[in-house]
């Protein structure tokens, strides 16, 4: 398994990195973004956010139509207060709806993984600090492992064996 991390990436910058060289011979792609897109705040519409994701998905499929794509929902971050949480929840719900609509249209090679709750305390719903690096923005080694395991579980649940 190969993981490419694009620090500070937004959906727009991710699209610049989608190329035959990067995709190589991979059969599975997981698109995961943190909260970088939330700098646009609550003004970021569901439609705009989902359109940016779909542009990246279509770009991948134009290069490798057989690739199966999983979209990870936005996870919280420690270095900021949770004022962006309503926007994060709204956009995550929009992604779930978009993927489910695509599946209803017969697109079987796309899914999403719900990983947000794994990074929150079960009763306070605050980010679990030990899953983040000291900067409060990036994941720690343990956090990265948990995120990767969630992607693998999502792929296996969908029968996407490797």
Tell me the average pLDDT of the chain: 82
Specify whether the CB–CB gap between 127 and 77 falls below 8 A: yes
Nearest of 27, 50, 10, 46 to residue 155 by alpha carbon: 27
Edge-first strand listing for the sheet containing 110-113: 28-32, 68-72, 110-113
Instruction: State the sign of the Cα–Cα–Cα–Cα dihedral 35, 97, 117, 82.
Output: positive
pTM above 0.85, yes or no: no
| Alpha-carbon Rg for the chain in angstroms | 15
pLDDT digits (tens, 9 = 90+) for 115-138: 888 888 888 888 889 998 888 878
Q: What is the pLDDT of residues 64-116, one digit of tens each?
A: 898 889 888 888 778 666 677 788 888 899 999 999 999 999 998 898 888 88
- Domain 11-157 is classified in which CATH homologous superfamily? SGNH hydrolase (3.40.50.1110)
Give the C-alpha separation, 87 to 35, whole Å.
10
pLDDT of residue 34: 64
């Amino acid at each position: 398994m190969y993981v490419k991390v694009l620090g500070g990436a937004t959906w727009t910058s991710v699209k610049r990195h989608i190329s035959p060289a990067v995709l190589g011979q991979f059969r599975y792609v997981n698109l995961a973004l943190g909260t970088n897109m939330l700098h646009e705040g609550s003004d970021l519409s569901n439609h705009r956010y989902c359109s940016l994701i779909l542009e990246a998905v279509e770009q991948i499929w134009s290069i490798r139509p057989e690739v199966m794509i999983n979209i990870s929902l936005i996870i919280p971050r420690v270095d900021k207060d949770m004022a962006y949480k309503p926007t994060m929840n709204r956009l995550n719900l929009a992604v779930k709806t978009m993927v489910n609509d695509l599946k209803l249209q017969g697109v079987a090679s796309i899914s999403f993984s719900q990983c947000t709750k794994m990074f929150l305390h079960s009763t306070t719903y605050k980010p679990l600090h030990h899953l983040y690096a000291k900067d409060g923005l990036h994941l720690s080694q343990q956090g990265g492992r948990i995120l990767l395991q969630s992607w693998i579980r999502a792929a296996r649940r969908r029968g996407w064996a490797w």
